[in-house]
């Protein structure tokens, strides 16, 4: 692997690609050659750089100078001035006031912006995600090497249990415990499945990991395979993530070529290989048993649990299903040890969490911070405050496993235990920040519309309950609600929770319960006064209500 | 759309090739259907029959999978398919206004195809690029931070 004086990283998320990132990348290569710098400067395309206000973005290391939005005609000047003459071009730099994500982290070193703590996003945006060599020089595969040469499978699981890592997909189940279940399950054939069907609205942390650091997931899955006794792994990537699929396909091919996948890894008796399975657009496939059905080529309808996948999973064999972000923690824990990991976060929820910050804030994007940070801190520091000087009203924590969190709870530490004590859920890590102009009825209507559309239809409480709840909310937003509708909504939410087969239905009523718990007066105003206090709802019949209403 | 749909033989041929390319295995059903959907633009009944025969499973099984996933379509779509994200993050960032404009410009309701077969308008759940909401996708092109004013310009790019 060659050592370069400077590294030029070009963002290649979908939005950057649309704005010509590929041409900018090629132009950089040409210009670098033009100035005879090809032995000193490397140019790579990296994934999503975590910043979602400026496209395309170019970062030059080691200075960590950020240029953006970069146009094709700017490339010559950047190469001539910055790389050839060593002078930054201030007028092409990305404006500092809207920094977020990766850039925030980079600039922290200069003491200008709040720190993040990056473990799962450690390499995303720093390494060339298409090069296994680049991964290796950034500590890649040292954890797998350590595991295969120094540790027994039971040691790996013990270390993970000691670290206190909990699943980052939403439910927060202790990861080490899940691994021990699969390891103890009877049977010679076992599977490791990486759940990359990230479809919780507002969540794209897994996409950034897969696009920016695909090898870390392969390494983590291989370690998991060794620990639980599996020799085959599947990555289930949602169909919409084309770039992530491309990066993973390439990563698997390189890992096979370098002997990090295949037979007798590191000269041991251990064999492991990984396949990719693409989804085709179904939120429910993020549910682990639906995901397994989908890999088997069926409709993504959840199975009845128990038995759990840890004993009866893919093709009836014991199967370990872990989320992308959960797995991305594993190599770091093995490399540095459980006690290192426990220094981050809170005692009951160690480590970091990746959050996507969205909605009415000045700066949207992806951050990774220790568990236990509060919503107020996230909004003020990383979101850089509410847009247009408005007030924070509520946050929605994303998808089926999240909650509607009112401003009164914004000082609750964001970790699994504190949140469950406060009666709210952390969810998948999406933080949709809503200002005073947000109507809770409108928000709940949008959320229920999502559940109604994504319900797989297998069990009745969910199939009909989500539809009925959406219809009642629509009626309220159209000024035709009655107070008894609120009782029916509560009863629907309870029935959804108690009677649904899987997590989708069980949590579909959460937004209803939350808005009636924290914002009941606002909901009742729609009915009693016939006005939407925020002026969002139409308050008259807008769309035809379905015939079966 | 690359295959003339009235040509049943060509449809069956495409379906057979895709099925065989993936080893005609049940576990490959979704990748097979994905590929045919991409090639033909949707999944005609003849294609599903052919896949069922190749995989030696009941046609109802193939149909049940084809109708389950959002990225697969069993009805013919327009030349351009517009996916509009209607999830909460896009909605809160101004998606409602964009949606109204889009609907008015196209004069289509969700799921409809225009009479000239130019457009199909589909509402979808989160596309995973929420940092730049509101988001819409036309064929393979993604547009972020969309405002109602941008809609005519975006639509004018396609013919």
pLDDT of A128 reads 86
Would you call A18 and B143 a contact, using CB atoms and an 8 Å cutoff?
A: yes
pLDDT band for position A529 (50/70/90)? very high
Which domains are delineated in chain A? 6-94 (3.40.30.10), 132-342 (3.40.50.11540), 352-435 (3.10.20.600), 440-528 (1.20.1440.230)
- Percentage of chain A beyond pLDDT 90 is 65
In this structure, the answer to whether residues B38 and B87 fall within a common structural domain is no
A183 touches chain B (CB under 8 A): no
The total number of structural domains in chain B stands at 2
For the sheet containing B141-143, what is the strand order?
B119-124, B80-85, B136-138, B141-143
Q: For residue A167, is pLDDT > 80?
A: yes
- Shortest Cα–Cα distance, B28 to chain A (Å): 6
Among A14, A239, A454, the residue with its CB nearest the CB of B34 is A239
A204 touches chain B (CB under 8 A): yes
Would you call A201 and B89 a contact, using CB atoms and an 8 Å cutoff?
A: yes
In this structure, the answer to whether residues B35 and B94 fall within a common structural domain is no
Would you call B130 and A239 a contact, using CB atoms and an 8 Å cutoff?
A: no
In this structure, the answer to whether residues B61 and B85 fall within a common structural domain is no
Does residue A316 or residue A39 have the better pLDDT? Answer: A316
CA distances from A509 to A210, A408, B90 (A): 31, 21, 21
Distance CA A12, CA A16 (A): 5
Question: How large is the ipTM?
Answer: 0.92
Q: Is residue B137 part of a domain?
A: yes
Does residue A2 or residue B153 have the better pLDDT? Answer: B153
Domain that holds residue B141: 80-156
pLDDT of A5 reads 82
Distance CA A535, CA A538 (A): 8
Distance CA B119, CA A447 (A): 27
Distance CA A185, CA A197 (A): 25
pLDDT of A104 reads 34
- The pLDDT of A262-270, averaged and rounded, is 94
pLDDT of A51 reads 59
> b/e per residue, A208-219, with b = 16+ CB within 10 A?
bbbbbbbbbbbb
Would you call B124 and A198 a contact, using CB atoms and an 8 Å cutoff?
A: no
Q: Which residue of B has its CA nearest to A206?
A: B128
A297 touches chain B (CB under 8 A): yes
pLDDT of A109 reads 33
Nearest in space to A118 (alpha carbons), one of A103, A105, A131: A105
Residue with tokens 């999502």: A450
- The pLDDT of A402-416, averaged and rounded, is 91
Q: For residue A108, is pLDDT > 50?
A: no
In this structure, the answer to whether residues B95 and B151 fall within a common structural domain is yes
pLDDT of A1 reads 53
| A266 within 8 A of A297, measured Cβ to Cβ | no
| A196 within 8 A of A236, measured Cβ to Cβ | yes
| Mean pLDDT per 10-residue interval, chain B, length 159 residues | 64 95 93 94 94 96 95 93 93 92 92 93 89 88 89 92
Q: For residue A155, is pLDDT > 90?
A: yes
How many CB atoms are closer than 10 A to CB B24? 17
Residue with tokens 């010509």: A20
Q: Which of B25, B58, B128, B136 to mutate to test the interface with A (most CBs of A within 10 A)?
A: B128
pLDDT of A50 reads 60
Does residue A60 or residue A99 have the better pLDDT? Answer: A60
CA distances from A86 to A4, A80, A90, A332, B142 (A): 15, 8, 12, 35, 36
How many CB atoms are closer than 10 A to CB A535? 9
Q: Residues of A numbered 401-440 whose beta carbons fall under 8 angstroms of chain B's beta carbons: which are they?
A: 430, 432, 434, 438
Q: Which range, of A107-116, A376-385, B43-52, averages the lowest pLDDT?
A: A107-116
Nearest in space to A349 (alpha carbons), one of A379, A329, A378: A329
- Percentage of chain A beyond pLDDT 70 is 93
pLDDT band for position A61 (50/70/90)? confident
- The pLDDT of A80-100, averaged and rounded, is 73
Element (H, E) at A370: strand A365-370
- Cβ-Cβ contacts under 8 Å, A102 against chain B: none
User: Over the stretch A7-40, which tens digit does the pLDDT of each residue have?
Assistant: 888 887 777 877 788 889 999 999 999 998 988 8
Distance CA B57, CA B49 (A): 10
Distance CA A98, CA A52 (A): 10
Structure tokens at A63: 């200075």
Q: Is residue B41 part of a domain?
A: yes
In DSSP terms, B112 is beta-bridged to none
pLDDT of A549 reads 31
Distance CA A487, CA A32 (A): 68
A197 touches chain B (CB under 8 A): no
Q: Residues of B numbered 59-78 whose beta carbons fall under 8 angstroms of chain A's beta carbons: which are they?
A: 64-65, 68-72
- The pLDDT of A380-398, averaged and rounded, is 91
Q: For residue A400, is pLDDT > 50?
A: yes
| A27 within 8 A of A45, measured Cβ to Cβ | no
Q: Which of B23, B54, B58, B89 to mutate to test the interface with A (most CBs of A within 10 A)?
A: B89
Residue with tokens 């409809």: B112
User: Over the stretch A417-445, which tens digit does the pLDDT of each residue have?
Assistant: 898 898 888 888 899 999 999 999 999 99
Would you call B72 and A281 a contact, using CB atoms and an 8 Å cutoff?
A: yes
In this structure, the answer to whether residues B60 and B89 fall within a common structural domain is no
Q: Is residue B24 part of a domain?
A: yes
Helix or strand or coil: residue A69? coil
- Shortest Cα–Cα distance, B63 to chain A (Å): 10
Number of residues that this document lists for chain A = 549
- Shortest Cα–Cα distance, A368 to chain B (Å): 15
A241 touches chain B (CB under 8 A): yes
B108 touches chain A (CB under 8 A): no
Distance CA A408, CA A418 (A): 14
In this structure, the answer to whether residues B44 and B96 fall within a common structural domain is no
In this structure, the answer to whether residues B93 and B60 fall within a common structural domain is no
Q: For residue A547, is pLDDT > 80?
A: no
Q: Which residue of A has its CA nearest to B85?
A: A201
In this structure, the answer to whether residues B88 and B34 fall within a common structural domain is no
A214 touches chain B (CB under 8 A): no
Q: For residue A99, is pLDDT > 50?
A: no
Residue with tokens 């029935």: A495
A396 touches chain B (CB under 8 A): yes
Q: Name residues whose C-beta falls within 8 Å of residue A65's C-beta, 6 or more positions apart in sequence.
A: A59, A82, A88, A93
Would you call A297 and B28 a contact, using CB atoms and an 8 Å cutoff?
A: yes
In this structure, the answer to whether residues B43 and B84 fall within a common structural domain is no
Phi first, then psi: give them for residue A101, nearest 5 degrees.
55, -140
Q: Among B40, B66, B92, where does a domain finish?
A: B66
- The pLDDT of A308-337, averaged and rounded, is 97
Helix or strand or coil: residue A66? strand
- Cβ-Cβ contacts under 8 Å, A283 against chain B: 125-126
Among A18, A53, A450, the residue with its CB nearest the CB of B141 is A18
Alpha helices in chain B (DSSP H): 8-21, 29-40, 45-55, 59-66, 88-90, 96-106, 151-156
Q: Which residue of B has its CA nearest to A439?
A: B92
- Cβ-Cβ contacts under 8 Å, A359 against chain B: 89, 92-93
Would you call B30 and A294 a contact, using CB atoms and an 8 Å cutoff?
A: yes
Would you call A204 and B131 a contact, using CB atoms and an 8 Å cutoff?
A: yes
pLDDT of A97 reads 37
- Cβ-Cβ contacts under 8 Å, B97 against chain A: none
Q: Which range, of A81-85, A357-361, A541-545, B93-97, averages the lowest pLDDT?
A: A541-545
Q: Which of A280, A283, A427 to mutate to test the interface with B (most CBs of B within 10 A)?
A: A280
Q: Is residue B45 part of a domain?
A: yes
Name the E strands within A261-335. Answer: 273-278, 319-323
B152 touches chain A (CB under 8 A): no
For the sheet containing A191-196, what is the strand order?
A273-278, A232-237, A191-196, A319-323
User: Over the stretch A125-153, which tens digit does the pLDDT of each residue have?
Assistant: 788 899 999 999 889 999 999 999 999 99
CA angle A218, A220, A226 (to 5 degrees): 105
Element (H, E) at A59: strand A58-61
Dihedral (CA of A281, A285, A290, A293) sign: positive
pLDDT of B1 reads 47
- Cβ-Cβ contacts under 8 Å, A456 against chain B: 68
pLDDT band for position A238 (50/70/90)? very high
What is the CATH number for B152?
Answer: 3.40.30.10
| A280 within 8 A of B71, measured Cβ to Cβ | yes
- For chain A, how far is it from start to end, CA to CA, in angstroms? 66
Distance CA A434, CA A392 (A): 6
Q: Which of A51, A69, A284, A297 to mutate to test the interface with B (most CBs of B within 10 A)?
A: A297
Interface A–B counts its CB contacts (< 8 A) at 130
| B1 within 8 A of B73, measured Cβ to Cβ | no
Q: Which range, of A49-63, A133-147, A264-278, B121-135, averages the lowest pLDDT?
A: A49-63
Structure tokens at A422: 């406060």
- Cβ-Cβ contacts under 8 Å, A198 against chain B: 128
Q: Is residue B20 part of a domain?
A: yes
Q: For residue A399, is pLDDT > 90?
A: no
| A384 within 8 A of A361, measured Cβ to Cβ | yes
CA angle B144, B41, B115 (to 5 degrees): 80
**Confidence (pTM):** 0.85
In this structure, the answer to whether residues B94 and B57 fall within a common structural domain is no
In this structure, the answer to whether residues B23 and B59 fall within a common structural domain is yes
Q: For residue A96, is pLDDT > 60?
A: no
Q: Is residue B2 part of a domain?
A: no
């Amino acid at each position: 692997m060659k050592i370069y004086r400077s590294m030029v990283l070009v963002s290649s998320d979908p939005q950057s690609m649309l704005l010509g990132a590929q041409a900018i990348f090629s132009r950089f290569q040409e210009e670098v050659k033009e100035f005879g710098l090809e032995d000193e400067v490397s140019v790579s395309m990296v994934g999503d750089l975590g910043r979602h206000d400026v496209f395309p973005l170019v970062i030059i290391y080691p200075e960590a100078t950020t240029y953006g939005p970069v146009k094709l005609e700017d490339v010559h000047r950047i190469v001539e001035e910055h790389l050839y003459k060593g002078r930054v071009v201030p007028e092409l730099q990305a404006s500092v006031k809207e920094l977020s994500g990766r850039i925030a982290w980079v600039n922290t070193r200069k003491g200008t912006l709040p720190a993040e703590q990056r473990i799962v996003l450690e390499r995303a945006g720093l390494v060339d995600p298409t090069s296994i060599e680049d991964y290796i020089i950034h500590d890649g595969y040292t954890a797998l090497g350590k595991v295969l040469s120094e540790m027994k499978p039971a040691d790996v699981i013990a270390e993970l249990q000691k670290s206190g890592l909990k699943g980052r997909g939403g439910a927060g189940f202790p990861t080490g415990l899940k691994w021990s279940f699969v390891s103890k399950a009877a049977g010679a054939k076992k599977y490791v499945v990486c759940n990359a069907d990230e479809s919780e609205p507002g969540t794209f942390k897994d996409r950034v990991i897969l696009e920016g650091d695909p090898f870390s997931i392969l390494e983590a899955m291989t370690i998991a395979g060794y620990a639980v006794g599996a020799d085959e792994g599947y990555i289930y990537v949602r169909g919409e993530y084309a770039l992530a699929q491309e990066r993973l396909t390439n990563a698997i091919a390189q890992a096979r070529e370098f002997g990090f996948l295949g037979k007798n890894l590191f000269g041991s008796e251990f064999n492991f290989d990984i396949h990719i399975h693409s989804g085709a657009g179904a939120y429910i496939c993020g549910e682990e048993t639906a995901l397994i059905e989908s890999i088997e080529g069926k409709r993504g309808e959840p199975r009845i649990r128990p038995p759990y996948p840890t004993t009866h999973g893919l093709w009836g064999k014991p199967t370990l299903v872990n989320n992308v972000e959960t797995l991305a923690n594993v190599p770091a824990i093995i490399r540095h040890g459980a006690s290192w990991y426990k220094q981050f976060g809170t005692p009951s929820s160690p480590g970091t969490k990746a959050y996507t910050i969205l909605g009415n804030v000045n700066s949207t994007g992806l951050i990774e911070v220790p568990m236990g940070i509060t919503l107020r801190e996230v909004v003020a520091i990383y979101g850089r405050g509410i847009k247009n000087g408005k007030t924070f009203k509520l946050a929605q924590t994303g998808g089926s496993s999240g909650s509607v969190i009112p401003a009164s709870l914004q000082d609750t530490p964001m970790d699994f235990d504190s949140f469950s004590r406060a009666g709210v859920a952390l969810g998948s890590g999406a933080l949709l920040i809503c200002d005073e102009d947000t109507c809770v009825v409108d928000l709940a209507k949008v959320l229920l519309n999502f559940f109604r559309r994504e319900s797989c239809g297998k069990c009745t409480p969910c199939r009909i309950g989500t539809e009925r709840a959406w219809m009642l909310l629509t009626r309220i937003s159209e000024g035709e609600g009655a107070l008894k509708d609120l009782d029916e909504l509560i009863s629907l939410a309870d029935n959804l929770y108690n009677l649904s087969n899987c997590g989708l239905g069980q949590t579909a009523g959460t937004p209803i319960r939350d808005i009636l718990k924290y914002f009941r007066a606002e909901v009742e105003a729609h009915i009693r006064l016939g006005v939407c206090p925020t002026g969002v709802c139409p308050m008259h019949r807008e769309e035809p209500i379905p015939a079966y209403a | 759309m690359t295959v003339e749909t009235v040509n049943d033989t060509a449809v069956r041929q495409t379906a057979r090739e895709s099925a065989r390319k993936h080893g005609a295995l049940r576990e490959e059903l979704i990748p097979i259907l994905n590929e045919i959907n991409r090639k033909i633009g949707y999944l005609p009944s003849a294609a599903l029959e052919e896949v069922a025969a190749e995989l030696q499973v009941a046609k109802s099984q193939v149909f049940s999978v084809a109708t389950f996933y959002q990225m697969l379509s069993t009805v013919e779509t327009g030349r351009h398919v517009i996916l509009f994200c209607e999830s909460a993050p896009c909605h809160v960032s101004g998606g409602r206004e964009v949606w109204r404009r889009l609907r008015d410009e196209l004069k289509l309701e969700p799921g409809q195809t225009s009479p000239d077969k130019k457009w199909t308008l589909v509402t979808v759940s989160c596309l995973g690029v929420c940092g730049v909401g509101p988001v819409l996708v036309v064929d393979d092109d993604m547009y972020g931070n969309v405002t109602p004013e941008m809609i005519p310009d975006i639509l004018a790019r396609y013919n």
